[in-house]
Amino acid sequence: MKILVTGGAGFIGSAVVRCLLSDEQHSVISLDKLTYAGNLESIPASLQSDRYSFECVDICDAQALGRVFDEQQPDIVMHLAAESHVDRSIDGPGEFIQTNVVGTYTLLEASRKYWLQLEGEKKEGFRFHHISTDEVYGDLPHPDEQGGNLPLFTEETSYAPSSPYSASKASSDHLVRAWLRTYGLPTVVTNCSNNYGPYHFPEKLIPHVILNALAGKLLPVYGDGSQIRDWLYVEDHARALVEVATNGRIGETYNIGGHNEKRNIEVVHTICDLLEELVPEKPNNIGFYRSLITFVKDRPGHDVRYAIDASKIDKELGWKPQETFESGMRKTVQWYLDNSWWWKRVLSGDYRLDRIGDKG
Ligand code: NAD
């Protein structure tokens, strides 16, 4: 299959590209604007592969998208390009509306135009897979406030987004479903919980904590750290996405989660404890990594709990996460220890310098 991956230089998009390239039956066109979050160094395998090409394109640019579809003739579109950081959406929501809403609309229209002129098996087989988040559902009751069996997000949960980020993603999900219902564009949607793993941009909780701890800097935790997220190892997510894109049923939504509900403070403790074991020699004469934890003012509108019921994708497509929270976190911390070349270039900004030659 020839698969167009938007946001292919981002955290999850690059994991999808690496996953696709590991299977000889696929070729990949990675399409990315290369914002601060895009990093071509996250796909080392692309350097040796003749099944990989890169297009430096903004998904809001209809003309450039039209050219890519004409030239590349993809079988499947996997749409991951987005502005993705909640804190940034609170400081500046405009970019989120532009990329996540207008960009998704522009990509849908380019895909529809392309799909309409396809014929036969190529038209039959075409899929537009929209990758979204569980944050569109808002939040769930927290065990500190409600006892008994706590609910999970299912594919039928109503939308109730809290942040500009999740509201923009919810809007894009609605657009995708409308393009199926109104125009018949063969779409499928996935909503996933929080990801973690290799090549994660250091502004997000887990890499931020690992790198601050290694530098002996404070580890900021929002509020009292009791917010619960359902953590999924990014390579498990990438496998699920490839499964849905290639075998998912048109018009369906699949929730994807890791069955790993953890409080933010538990996540930070886990990282500190792994570092105690793996890097016992600490910087700045600190006694324990946990002593760096500092509680900071909570984020406005902060959702208290997310948790996914992932039984549908398991039942229909046989997908299950392979990593537990413990094994995934150990792999992640070890990856950051072994790959300082990657995150040092991100922190210094050097990963952006070599891009001109890559824009091809
Ligand atoms: P990311 O921020 O790491 O990557 C986004 C990529 O999109 C970057 O490479 C960026 O350069 C590119 N991009 C941004 N604006 C663009 C534009 N206008 N045109 C073309 N490319 C553009 O994000 P991520 O964490 O990899 O998330 C990927 C997708 O998965 C997003 O749609 C996000 O909503 C969704 N998601 C993320 C998580 C998570 O935990 N990170 C969980 C569930 C769903």
Ligand 1 cavity residues, CB under 6 Å: 6-7, 9-13, 32-35, 37-38, 58-60, 80-84, 99, 103, 131, 133, 169, 192, 194-195, 201
Nearest CA, atom 42, ligand 1? 194
Ligand 1 centroid distance, CA of 317 (Å): 24
Ligand 1 centroid distance, CA of 115 (Å): 24
- Identify the pLDDT of residue 47: 78
45 pLDDT higher than 90: no
- Identify the pLDDT of residue 359: 36
Residue range 127-142, pLDDT digits in tens: 999 999 999 999 999 9
Average pLDDT, the chain: 95
- Identify the pLDDT of residue 144: 92
* DSSP one-letter string for 273-285: HHHHHH--S-GGG
Nearest alpha-carbon partner for 130 in 85, 185, 88, 90: 185
The CA-CA-CA angle for residues 275, 332, 49, to 5°, reads 145
Nearest CA, atom 13, ligand 1? 81
* Residue 151, both tokens: 């609910």
- Identify the pLDDT of residue 227: 94
Residue range 191-228, pLDDT digits in tens: 999 999 999 999 899 999 999 999 999 999 999 999 99
Cα torsion angle, 101, 103, 106, 110, sign: negative
Residues carrying an active site annotation: 134-135, 165
As a whole number of Å, the end-to-end CA separation of the chain is 22
Ligand 1 closest atom vs CA 32: 21
* DSSP one-letter string for 109-150: HHHHHHHHT--HHHHHH-EEEEEEEGGGG-----TTT--SS-
- Identify the pLDDT of residue 335: 98
Question: Residue ranges per domain, the chain?
Answer: 2-199+230-260+301-325
Ligand 1 centroid distance, CA of 16 (Å): 12
- Identify the pLDDT of residue 14: 97
Predicted confidence band of residue 83 (pLDDT cuts 50, 70, 90): very high
- Average pLDDT, stretch 119-134? 98
Predicted confidence band of residue 356 (pLDDT cuts 50, 70, 90): very low
**Which residue from 11, 171, 244 has its CB within 8 A of the most atoms of ligand 1, so it is best to mutate?**
11
Classify strands 261-263 and 228-230 as parallel, antiparallel or unpaired: antiparallel
Residue range 323-337, pLDDT digits in tens: 999 999 999 999 999
Ligand 1 closest atom vs CA 8: 9
User: Is the CATH code 1.10.287.810 the one for domain 2-199+230-260+301-325?
Assistant: no
Q: 264-278 and 205-214 helices cross at what angle (nearest 10)? A: 40
The pair phi, psi for residue 313, each rounded to 5°, is: -65, -30
Ligand 1 centroid distance, CA of 310 (Å): 21
For the entire predicted model, the pTM comes to: 0.96
- What is the residue whose two structure tokens read 């930070």? 268
Residue range 276-322, pLDDT digits in tens: 999 999 998 899 999 999 999 998 888 899 999 999 999 999 999 99
Ligand 1 centroid distance, CA of 355 (Å): 18
Predicted confidence band of residue 354 (pLDDT cuts 50, 70, 90): low
